[in-house]
Amino acid sequence: MWDVKLNNSCNHRIINELLDIKGSYPSYYAILKRPVYGNNLQIKLVDEDNLFEVDPVLLSCTLGADKKTLVLNTTEIQVDVRDGVYPKHSYYATYATDQAHCPKCIEGTNKTNDIYIDVLGRPILTAGLERLIQSIKKILITAMQSNIYDEEYGSELPNLIGKKKTVLTLLKAQNTIQNAIEYIQTNQMKNYDLLSDDEKLLKIDNFQVIPTTDPKVLKFSFEVYTLSGKNVNIGVSI
C-alpha cells in the first residue's frame, strides 16, 4: 500500500516544547527556543499530567519583552522543580511563532513538509518497508486514547516522558511497544493481500535498553522483521 499527504499552509505552532526551568523556588523562569508571535501572544503551559488532556489545567506565566523569556509563578505558586519534590515534574509550552523562526516550514516558504515531488512532477509515495517503519513510529508517538476514532490506537510512551528510569518504567515501555506492534499486525490482516511482503510485519526482536547518563531519558532499540526477510533497527528515545 502507499501513503501520501497533502501540502498545507503552516500554522507556525510549537506544540509541547519541553522547558528547561531555571532560577530558584518560587522565582523560576524558562527561555523558549523561539520567540512568541501571533495568537495574541497566548502560551499554554502544562505539566506532564495534563500534556494530552482536552481541557488541561493551565499554569501561570508572563512573557518577557524579548518574547522568549517565561517568568513563572507570577500569580500563584504552581511550578516546582526542587530536588526534594518527588516525582519531579516536567513542564511544556505550546505557542505560536512566526515564519522566520518556525521549524516546520520548508526554507521559509510558509508550507509544511507534507509532500515531495520528483523531477518529473510526480508525488513521491512511501511504500513497503519505509511505510511500515513510518506506521510503527507514528503509533508509538501517539498517546493512547488521543484518537477519537480509535481509542485503542497509540501507545503509553508519551505518558512516560519525564518519568524516572525504574524497572517498572522500562517494563511499561517494553509492554506498550509490544502492544503497538500487535495492533499493527491485527490491522494488517484486514488488508493482507494488498500489502507487499516488505510491509507485512512479522515480528520485533532484540529489544534493548540503551544506557544514558540522564536518569529521566529512556532509550530503546528493537529489530523489525518483515515477511520478505528484511529487518531494520528502530530506535526510540523519550
Number of H helices, E strands in the chain: 2, 12
The strand ranges marked E within the chain are 2-3, 13-18, 22-24, 27-31, 44-47, 61-63, 69-72, 91-96, 126-127, 201-210, 219-226, 231-237
CA–CA separation, 29 and 42 (whole Å): 17
Residue 36 pLDDT greater than 90, yes or no: yes
Q: What is the pLDDT of residue 108?
A: 61
CA–CA separation, 139 and 120 (whole Å): 32
pTM score:
0.53
Residue 106 pLDDT greater than 60, yes or no: no
Higher-confidence residue of 219 and 184: namely 184
Q: What is the pLDDT of residue 230?
A: 86
Looking up cell 503509553 gives 156
Segment 118-133, tens digit of pLDDT: 657 677 777 888 889 8
Most confident of 6-20, 41-55, 183-197, 199-213: 183-197
Mean pLDDT over each residue of the chain, to the nearest integer: 83
* 65-74, 191-200, 229-238, range with the lowest pLDDT: 229-238
C-alpha cell at 215: 536518569
Residue 184 pLDDT greater than 90, yes or no: yes
Q: What is the pLDDT of residue 34?
A: 92
